Amino acid sequence: MGKLIVNADDFGLTSGVNRAILELHRAGVVSSTSLMARANATEEAVDLALSTPTLGVGCHVVLVDGEPVLPPHRIPTLVDPRTGHFPSSLTVFLARLFTGRIRSFEIEAEISAQISLLKQRGLRLTHVDTHKHLHVFSAVLRPLLRAARFAGIRALRHPFEPDWALCVTRSAPWLRLAQVGALRWLEPASRRIIEEEGFVTTNGTIAVAGTGVLDEATLRSLLRNLPPGTWELVTHPGYNDADLARVRTRLRSSRDTERSALSALREFPAIRLISFAGLSAGPLDHQLADSPARWLSASSIHSRASKP
């Protein structure tokens, strides 16, 4: 069977999200995570990442529904002038992007600042991706790649879900399936840009359509149909607690569901888990790249899961 990066998004969102991701990593079912540079529990997440070198950590770039790293006057086309924050609505961001009202150099500058903030804390970032998968659009992808290259990062999420995965994600609402499927027409251009710029990525990302409805049955269906190649499983585990209730997110009870569902990975020992470091040869740490694959032995899972 293929290789799989099991990536948990939103590291740093709340302490409950952080705790869930670390528990799942120790249990051998999450190999990678994406860290928000400015969120409620970012500082805690950074400390946890630094003390857990086997966990691949990337930058989860936020351009919608969050607070920027740069001062608002440096990125006026990216922020709401009344709040100094990014627009809370994806529709508002895309309308401004497609009408040319967002400056590309501001996107690059803010992404660079988010990456730099995490690197200054001592993190060795394995990859970049974006909140809401905004880099499906070339107007975000190109400045993202420029910022990543400057920071020495050469791996990123390829946020397009293949048809076979959409077909077996029966729990997803039809509208979500249609939206994710419709974005597939952007994939050839995205793949070309990534290759031309010398970056590496996966064959595709699964469970994008399943976000918010990823349960054990859906996950088993995806894993049973996983073809050869290297894929990313995008997940959003957490604890639906008081901290999460204070955060703007559509994913609340589903975080508990996904946290429980990921245990189904133990039923597929032939799937080799890696981090994004495993996509790149050369400067990236091969120990980090290889270590998640060893976690899937029964004895390793048992010993790690039994730790407090």
Check whether 70 has a pLDDT greater than 60: yes
Mean pLDDT of 257-280: 93
Which position has the higher pLDDT, 222 or 242? 222
More confident residue, 290 or 74: 74
Residue scoring higher pLDDT (237 or 255): 237
Q: 177 with 211: CB under 8 angstroms?
A: no
The fraction of the chain above a pLDDT of 70, given in percent, is 88
Cα–Cα distance measured from residue 285 to residue 306, given in angstroms and rounded to the nearest whole number? 28
Amino acid present at 274: I
- Looking at per-residue confidence, does 2 or 163 come out higher? 163
CA distance 88 to 197: 31
Whether pLDDT at 123 is above 80 = yes
Task: Give pLDDT, residue 187.
Answer: 97
pLDDT surpasses 70 at 31: yes
Is the pLDDT at 289 greater than 80? The verdict is no
pLDDT more than 90, % of the chain: 79
Q: What is the pLDDT of residue 280?
A: 61
pLDDT score for 207: 95
- The pLDDT value given to residue 75: 98
33-66 pLDDT, tens digit per residue, is: 999 999 999 999 999 999 999 999 999 999 999 9
Stronger pLDDT, 307 or 71, i.e. the higher one? 71
Provide the token pair at 106: 């501001």
| Domains located in the chain, CATH noted | 3-305 (3.20.20.370)
Smallest CA-to-CA distance from 154 within 207, 104, 115, 205 is with 115
Q: Hey, is 258 helix, strand or coil?
A: helix
pLDDT of residue 1: 65
Rounded-to-integer distance, Cα 233 and Cα 304, Å: 21
The overall average pLDDT reported for the chain is 88
- Stretch 211-215: mean pLDDT: 88
Does the structure show a pLDDT above 90 at 212?
Answer: no
Q: Find the radius of gyration of the CA atoms of the chain.
A: 18
Q: What is the predicted pLDDT for the residue at 251?
A: 55
* Mean pLDDT calculated for residue range 197-214: 94
Q: How far lies 226's CA from each of 52, 162, 181, in Å?
A: 28, 11, 18
In the predicted model, is pLDDT for residue 168 greater than 60?
A: yes
pLDDT band at 162 (very low <50, low <70, confident <90, very high): very high
Q: How high is the pLDDT of residue 301?
A: 28
Q: Using CA atoms, how far apart are residues 8 and 52, in angstroms rounded to an integer?
A: 15
SS (HEC) of 196-238: HCCCECCCEEECCCCCCCCCHHHHHHHHHCCCCCEEEEEECCC
Closest CA to 190 of 177, 201, 179, 178: 201
256: exposed, middle or buried (Cβ count in 10 Å: 0-12, 13-18, 19+) = middle
Dist. CA 252–CA 197, nearest whole Å: 37
- DSSP-based three-state secondary structure for 191: helix
Q: How confident is the model at residue 240 (pLDDT cuts 50, 70, 90)?
A: confident
φ/ψ bin of 229: left (φ > 0), alpha (ψ from -120 to 50), beta (otherwise): left
Question: Stretch 143-164: mean pLDDT, rounded?
Answer: 97
Tell me: pLDDT of 232 over 60. Answer: yes
Residue 13 is given by DSSP the state S
